[in-house]
Each structure stands twice: as C-alpha cells, then as structure tokens.
Amino acid sequence: MPRVLITPHLLYELDLPCRRAIEEAGLEVVYPPNAMSLMDPTDLLKNLDGVAAVLAGMEPFNPEVLAKSNLRVIARAGVGYDAVDMAAASKQGVVVTITPGTNEISVAEQALSLLFGVMRGQPGRDQEVRSGVWKRVPLPRLSGKTIGLVGLGRIGRAMATRCQGIGLKVIASDPLADAAFAAKHDIRLVTLDELYAEADIVSLHTPATPETVRMINAKSLAKMKPGAVFINTARGSLVDETALADALRSRHLMAAGLDVFDVEPLPLDSPLLALDNVLLAPHMGGLDEESLEAMATMAGRSIAELYRGEWPGNGRVVNEELRAGWKW
C-alpha cells in the first residue's frame, strides 16, 4: 500500500477529511516521527523513504530531494509553491498541486489586522499602558487613504473589496489583472511606479517568482510616498529586509506590518526586531481554522484523485504539462 506523508504539524493525527479521503482511496497515512520538523532537506529526504506522496507545508523540495526520492505527488496545503523546484519536479514526473480558493479570506483578514495595528500604533500602545505610560498621540486616520495592491489575484481581490468596505481607495498593479473585476469595483489599474508614488499603503499579494524576488528594495522603497505604510502577507523573498529596515529606521516609511520573512522563523539578529514601528506575525496569513481544514481537504482529495487515475481540476495542478501519459 503506497504511503502518504503528512508534514504540516497542525494536521498531525487529526481526524480531518483530508486523512479520510487519502485512506479511503487505499493509501496509508504516515507522519514524521516525534512531530519533527522537516525543513532541513536531509531530514526531509530521510522521511521520504518508502513515501509516494506528500501532503506538504513549506518543506524544501529541492532537486536533490526530488531526485533521490520516489515521490509521485506533492500536494501543497496552500497556494504558494516556491518551496518546490518545479523544473526538477516536472523532470522527475512529480505532480505538484495547490489549493486555490481556500485561504484568500484568511490572508486578507491578516493583512487588514496588520494594517489596523500599525495605523493605530499597536503593539506599542498596548505595552505603554501595561507599563503605566499614558500617551495619547493621534495618528493618521485610515479611512480615505489610498491602498496600492501589488497583485490582484484571488487574494488581492479579496483584499480589495474589504478595503473599500472600510473606506479606502484602491489601486492595483498586476499585468494579469481581471479588468472586468477592476472595472466593476472601481479599482484603477496602474503601473508599479505609479502605485508606489500614489499609495499611502503598499500591500503585497503577488507570488514569489524570479521576476518578483527582491522587488521591494532600496530603489522601490525610495519611490514610495514619505510616511507610507508597507504590508507583506505574500512571501518574504519579495523584500530586501535590510533596505526595508533602513526605510523604517529613517521614518521614510511610517510603519510596516509583516507576516512573512526571507528566513523563517525570523532570526533573532534581524534588524527588524530593533524597530518600534513594525508589527510582526509568524506567517499566519493563510491560516485560520476554516482555511486549515479547506486546504488540507483539497490537498488530500488531489492525492486521492491522482491515485485513482483522475486528474485534479480547477487549477489545482501546477505542472499541467505532465497530464499526458502520467501514471501513478
């Protein structure tokens, strides 16, 4: 019986629909021993011995891991797949799936929580009250500001309508933007440089690709309005964190809310940790109770379908070119 390794620690041993879907298809579910993290490629490879498919988190499926394993499927519980070397996966005939439509509401809510937090001076004000300091310094009002969304895919669209609901003007930059959606919701599509120049808030909602890595750097930060707020719930690799820290330290940017980092967990020597105008979170954007179950269920269903000889639809397969002739 082929084995399926479930790696996200929040799914360990839970009786969720994802596990039932896998087992009902005739596959055996296994977990890492002692709930160990598999973020080290060596540890990951050791745990792939005898494993045919992975319901995966952010583990690094690099070319060596893919070449030395006997994987047939990597089903990501999420929509990002930058932790998988797609060229190597396709070369090895490993189908990679994602879970579109499962977590955009959670990401949008996290981005808004970070935005509200920094605009109202949290967590600094909370800490002041706890220490007996009673400062009442007004900060700029959020309503009426312009937010620039870098990316107008599922998450960007979920963000856009919620931002308009709290009184923000929305502009967006995305070469593949749904023009009909933008027109319907009165979202002006602009170039990146126009967005940087006009937005009071810049919020990232674009995937990590060779073209977008370090797109936020000293040059792009300098183009942003003095006093702008920066929000990132996309991927840490999009940002040069040293340049961002410099922009925050100089107060060129008013504040930042960050849910993702170039290295996770965020190293304790990161310059971001020394700043009082940054609100941080441990990559929780796409993760609430509802999205966790939905992502896991869709990922489990994709594995089960592929084992039964069915091809997952609705944009779930990343390397669609493998469809012709692919077998488990």
Residues 111, 98 share a domain: no
- Render pLDDT for 130-175 as a digit per residue (tens, 0 to 9): 999 999 999 999 999 999 999 999 999 999 999 999 999 999 999 9
CATH number of the domain where residue 156 is located: 3.40.50.720
Q: Could you tell me if residue 327 is inside a domain?
A: no
pLDDT at 293 over 70: yes
For position 15, what pLDDT does the model report? 72
Residues 298, 247 share a domain: no
Domain of 254 in residue numbering reads as 105-280
pLDDT at 202 over 80: yes
Q: Could you tell me if residue 43 is inside a domain?
A: yes
Residues 124, 22 share a domain: no
- Give the span between the Cα atoms of 45 and 66, in whole angstroms: 9
Residues 174, 250 share a domain: yes
pTM (2 d.p.):
0.94
For position 296, what pLDDT does the model report? 96
- Render pLDDT for 210-258 as a digit per residue (tens, 0 to 9): 999 999 999 999 999 999 999 999 999 999 999 999 999 999 999 999 9
Residues 261, 168 share a domain: yes
Residues 123, 38 share a domain: no
Cβ-proximal residues to 326 (8 Å cutoff; 6+ apart), any chain: 93, 95
Q: Single out the residue of 152, 105, 78, 155 nearest to residue 318, CA to CA.
A: 78
Q: Could you tell me if residue 8 is inside a domain?
A: yes
For position 34, what pLDDT does the model report? 82
- Between the two ends of the chain, the Cα-to-Cα distance in Å is 13
Residues 172, 95 share a domain: no
> Per-residue confidence at 16, pLDDT binned at 50, 70, 90?
confident
Neighbours of 40 (CB within 10 A): 12
Which residues are the active-site residues? 235, 264, 283
